[in-house]
Amino acid sequence: MKVLFIAYYFEPFPGVGAKRISYWAKNIKRIDDSITRCDVITATKQDSIIKGIDNIYYVEDTNSGVLRKLIKYDRGASWYYDLKKYIKNNIREKEYDYVVYTGDPFLHFFTIREIKNLHIKTILDFRDPFSNNPRNTLNISFVRKIKMYILGIIEEYFLKKTDIIITVNSFCAELFRSYKKYITKIKIIDNGFDEQLLIKINKKKTFPSQSFNLSYAGKLYQDRNPQIFFNSLKRFKNAKFYHIGEKSEYIEEETEQIFSLGSYSYVETLNILSSMDICMIFTSGYSFESTTKIFDYIALNKIILIISDGEIKSGQLHNITKDYPYVYWAKNDIDEITKALSLIENKLSLNMNDSFNSYSYSREYGLKKLINILKENKNDKL
């Protein structure tokens, strides 16, 4: 089989949006030798050859076009025109068995029409909700409602045109407006940890051993307000919290307990997390919400504290962690967080064994699912 991946973000772009598709492209031929060719088209400039990929074609986003003027926040709205031109001039009929797109951005998905005209099957990997993200529907204006309605029409077009739809969990799938109509097309491939990188992680503890150290990697959001957690932390004199990521408005200045470490590469972040006692998740409580970090935490065999503004032990985060022995939940309430931290503190002295089999949480496991999907649908009619 010959496979082409199309992704706006790809390595060496450091953001999480590039991780899943980059792993798939780099490793698909390693895992299955029936894949004889793997190419990539991306809007991310390349600085080196990547092992496992035959060709990476850089297509510049010229930031132009009518769609870009109408929908400013989706980079695919302008890249669509550049990508469409490239496909027309460079891809031949039946040159690939599959083209796998990933979002976000999403609007370059419009080029599935050009790909289908070349008699090539298409797969759309949505990852996140497109037109119906509950986190974007609080107190919305009339204009925003109109935009969401238009996005719903666009989403319907994508779902209708493509051969296969991939998303990360069943809750995300149910957020498609025409979920039941296209249910037979929808496949679930969750995110996961990169087992190739985890081998390189230094698991030596480098932070103060006389305290118990907590860390969160990522942006701190208003609807997942960490201030209540910070107030709870004051009740534990030997606790220290380390934030990894962009400078946050919630940590205006460091204290004896709260530290802002700044941004690091993915590998550097994993190294820091590996030296922590507790790794944290802040969630709004929506069922579809997940995060790649949860898989990294499990791979590192860490105690996980999940603080939720919604119901605890619910949704996809609970589905992922329900069999993991070192996870604690707390409502975003000062007493509930204090209770969870007390439980954790009492167990820190116990030896945690690493017998938990985390392979099903790995990116390799997810990529094998993708390969099975390719094989099972290869002979279906276009």
Query: Domain extents for the chain?
Result: 2-192+362-377, 196-361
Supply the pTM of this predicted model: 0.86
Tell me the C-alpha distance between 54 and 51, whole Å.
Answer: 8
The CATH fold of domain 196-361: Rossmann fold (3.40.50)
- Give the count of beta carbons closer than 10 Å to the beta carbon of residue 69: 10
What CATH number does domain 2-192+362-377 carry, 3.40.50.2000, 2.40.30.10, 3.30.360.10, 3.40.50.300?
3.40.50.2000
Q: Quick one: pLDDT at residue 258?
A: 93
Q: Which of 350, 289, 278 is nearest to 315 (CA)?
A: 289
Tell me the C-alpha distance between 167 and 240, whole Å.
Answer: 36
Q: Quick one: pLDDT at residue 203?
A: 63
Contact of 166 with 124, CB cutoff 8 Å: yes
Token pair of 220 as six digits: 């701190």
Give the pLDDT confidence of 349-374 residue by residue, as tens digits: 655 666 688 999 999 999 999 999 99
Residues 6+ apart with CB under 8 A from 354: 301
Q: Quick one: pLDDT at residue 251?
A: 87
Burial zone of 324 (CB within 10 Å; 0-12 exposed, 13-18 middle, 19+ buried): middle
CA distances from 17 to 7, 14, 44, 245, 320 (A): 9, 8, 12, 15, 20
Q: Over 70: is that where the pLDDT of 115 sits? A: yes
Give the pLDDT confidence of 119-151 residue by residue, as tens digits: 999 999 998 878 777 665 555 677 767 878 888
Is residue 202 very low, low, confident or very high in pLDDT (cuts 50, 70, 90)? low
Tell me the C-alpha distance between 366 and 23, whole Å.
Answer: 10
Q: Do the domains spanning 2-192+362-377 and 196-361 agree at the CATH topology level?
A: yes
Q: Quick one: pLDDT at residue 113?
A: 97
Contact of 283 with 212, CB cutoff 8 Å: no
